[in-house]
Homo-oligomer: A and B are copies of this chain.
Amino acid sequence: MNPVNDVFLRAARGEVTEYTPVWFMRQAGRYQPEYRKIRERYTLPEIVRHPEVTAEVTLLPVEQFGFDAAILFADITTPLYAMGFDLDIVEGRGPVIFNPVSSLDDVERIKPFDAESGTPFVLEAIKILKRELKVPLIGFAGAPFTLASYLIEGGPSKNFIKVKSFMYSQPRAWSRLLERLTEAMFDYLQAQANAGADALQVFDSWVGRLTRYDYETYVAPHMKRLFEKLAGLEVPVIHFGTQSMHLLSSMAAAGGDVIGVDTTTPLDWARDRLGTRPVQGNLDPTLLFAPAKVLERGIDAVLSANAGRPGHVFNLGHGILPGTPPESVALAVELVHQKSAVKP
C-alpha cells in the first residue's frame, strides 16, 4: 500500500511540496521514556530480533510527533552477525566486535550475506510496519567504509589508526573487504526494498575522517558500485556522512538520489554545489537542548539556507542525542511544518 502522506517521497524526488517534510535520524531511541521502558525488557539486539517490538518502537515517534517518515529501528551492525561476526552493543560505548578483521584471511572467512536467512526479522518488521504506517518507511544500512572501520578497529574509534593502517598497508585485503561489504549491503538494502521499504538511507557515518584523496582512492569506487546497483531498485536512496564537507562533491558523484548534509556543512553551500539534487538536513541536534527561541532561530536558519528550493527533507545533521527533551522534538516538527507551509 502506498503511504497516505507521501510528502517525504515527493521531496526526495525533488518535487515541490506543500510543506517541508521532516524526520529525525534516531527518532526512535533513548530520549523517549516509552522507548526506555521497552529497553527495560529487551536489549537493543533483542528489539531488532522481535519484529513486533521493532515495529512498535519504529511507530512510536511517528505517532507521537507527526514525523513525515518512519525509519526502521535497527542498527548498522544488524546484518554483521549473519556474516560471522561476534559483537555486542555496549552501553555508552557502541558496537564492539570480538573477532575483528586484521588480514586477508579474516576477510575471506566472512560469510556471504543473505537477508532472507540472515535477517528475516528485519524483513518481517518491515511487512508489519507497512500495514500500520501512514507515512513512508525508510530502510537503511551502513556504508562499507563505516562498517569496515568497526570491523577492523573492533569498535568505535577516536583516531581510526587501525582501519587507515589496514587500508594503507594491505590494499588488496582492503579492496576485498569493501567488495564483500558492498555486496552484502546491496543484498540487505534490496531485501528491505522488496519487503516494502519506500526509501533507503546509506549511513557512511565515519567517512568524514578520510581526506578527499583517500576517499577517492580507497572508498569511492566501492560506493559507486553500490549506488549503481541501488539505482535499479526504484526507491529513492539517501547518501549520508558526517563531518564530510570536504567530501561533498565526491560523495555526490558516487551516488544517491538525496544527499544528507551533516550539521557543520553549511546547507546553502551544499545546495549551491549540488544543483537540483535533493538534500536532507541539517539542524544541529544540540539545538534541541536550547531554549525554544534559540531552537526556533536554528530552524529558521536551516529553512532560509534552503531558500525555498524544492527537494529539501528537513532533518538533523546527525542523530538525536540521548537526553534530548521530547517536548523540543515536538516543537521542532511543529515549527518546520508551520514555517515551511506554502501560504495560500
A290 to B290, CA, bound (A): 43
Question: How far apart are the CA atoms of A211 and B212 in the complex, in Å?
Answer: 21
From B169, B210, B243, B287, give the contact of A294 (CB < 8 A). B169
List chain B residues, Cβ under 8 A from A266: 211-212, 246
A118 within 8 A of B: no
Q: Could you tell me the distance between the alpha carbons of A209 and B262 in the complex, rounded to whole angstroms?
A: 11
When each residue 104-134 of chain A gets 1 if its CB lies under 8 Å from chain B and 0 otherwise, what string results? 0000000000000000000000000000000
With contact pairs A214-B284, A264-B246, A284-B214 given, residues A161 and B323 touching in the complex (Cβ less than 8 Å)? yes
Partner of A289, one of B164, B265, B298: B164
Contact B211 A289 (CB under 8 A): no
User: In the complex, what's the smallest C-beta–C-beta distance from A334 to chain B, in angstroms?
Assistant: 19
Q: Is A159's beta carbon under 8 Å from chain B? A: yes
**A209 near B290 (CB under 8 angstroms)?**
no
- A residues 159-190 with Cβ under 8 Å of B? 159-161, 164-165, 168-169
Q: Say which residue of B212, B294, B321 sits within 8 Å of A168 (CB atoms).
A: B294
Residue A330 interfacial (CB < 8 Å): no
A323 surroundings in chain B (CB, below 8 A): 161
- Copies of the polypeptide in the assembly: 2
Contact A243 B264 (CB under 8 A): yes
Please tell me if the beta carbons of B246 and A265 are within 8 angstroms of each other in the complex: yes
Nearest chain B CB to A56 CB, angstrom units: 27
Contact indicator A291/B243 (Cβ below 8 Å): no
Interface flag for A42 (CB, 8 Å): no
Nearest residue in B to A293 (C-beta to C-beta)?
A: B168
In the assembled complex, the Cα of A266 lies from the Cα of B244 at a distance in Å of: 12
In this assembly, does A98 line the interface, its C-beta being within 8 Å of a C-beta of chain B? no
Within 8 Å of chain B (Cβ to Cβ): is A263?
A: yes
What would 13 more interface pairs be, CB under 8 Å, given A168-B287, A169-B291, A212-B264?
A159-B286, A159-B321, A161-B286, A161-B289, A161-B321, A164-B286, A164-B289, A164-B290, A165-B286, A168-B291, A208-B264, A213-B298, A246-B265
